[in-house]
Amino acid sequence: MARPHPAHGQNWSTFLKNHAQQVRACDFLQVIDLFFRQIYTFFIIDLGSRRVVHFGVTPHPTDAWVAQQLREATPYGLTPRFLIRDRDSKYGDEFTRVAGASSIEVLKTPYRAPKANAVCERFLGRLRRESLDHILVFGDRQLHRVIKEYVEYFNRARPHQGIAQRIPEGIVPQPAWPRRGRLIAVPVLNGLHHDYRRAT
């Protein structure tokens, strides 16, 4: 039976709904630092859980670097069946070879279909509005630290409307939270956001 391939049809949204647990998506976000240098961030997101699986930061997103990010995002053969990407030239031959060697079917977004990679686009928008728009970026190392803290908050504490207000890492079984105790606010990004927990 042939695999469904929605890249040129009108059933893209139906495909994503039916196969979300087998699909990841990736995209780039360009950031300009305080010294007007371009820094690129690369993300891979699991569509079923909305969890950010992997991210990388670099001023030079070569094909070899992007391929390495895919390797790091799929350790021990834990690969999705499908990976959605846009038609950016940063995805080169080596990226394609790494995906093929891992039996990942790469789905390029259709032309003139900005909503085809909507989960990634929404995440990148949230990252800008909820974090980067409030911070002066001095370089790639600092940007990596900021994004790491935001991604941990995004995965472990932030409810998502697309998954019925659940938390991405809360979809898998987690230790039960204490039902009683004082509620405390743990600051994220120096108080820009807060993670609310029960004090033990």
CA distance linking residue 164 with residue 169, whole number of Å: 13
Q: Please indicate, yes or no, if residue 104 is contained in any of the structural domains.
A: yes
Name the CA radius of gyration of the chain, rounded.
18
Report pLDDT for 97. 96
pLDDT at 157 (0 to 100): 80
In a domain, 89, yes or no: yes
Q: Is residue 185 part of a domain?
A: no
In the structure encoding, which two tokens stand for residue 79, read together? 């690969």
User: Which range marks the domain in which residue 20 is found?
Assistant: 15-166
Q: What is the pLDDT of residue 4?
A: 45
- Any domain includes 177: no
Q: Is residue 110 part of a domain?
A: yes
The confidence score (pLDDT) of residue 188 equals 65
Residue 114, both tokens? 């900005």
Q: Number of structural domains, the chain?
A: 1
Do residues 147 and 39 lie in contact, with contact meaning Cβ atoms separated by under 8 Å?
no
Reading the block at residue 94, the tokens are: 């080596």
50 within domain boundaries = yes
Domain of 45: which CATH number? Answer: 3.30.420.10
What gap in Å lies between CA 160 and CA 163, rounded to an integer? 6
What does pTM read for this prediction? 0.80
179/35 Cα distance (integer angstroms): 48
Contact in structure between 123 and 132 (CB atoms under 8 Å)? no
Task: Pick out the chain residues at pLDDT < 50.
Answer: 1-4, 7-8, 10, 171-174
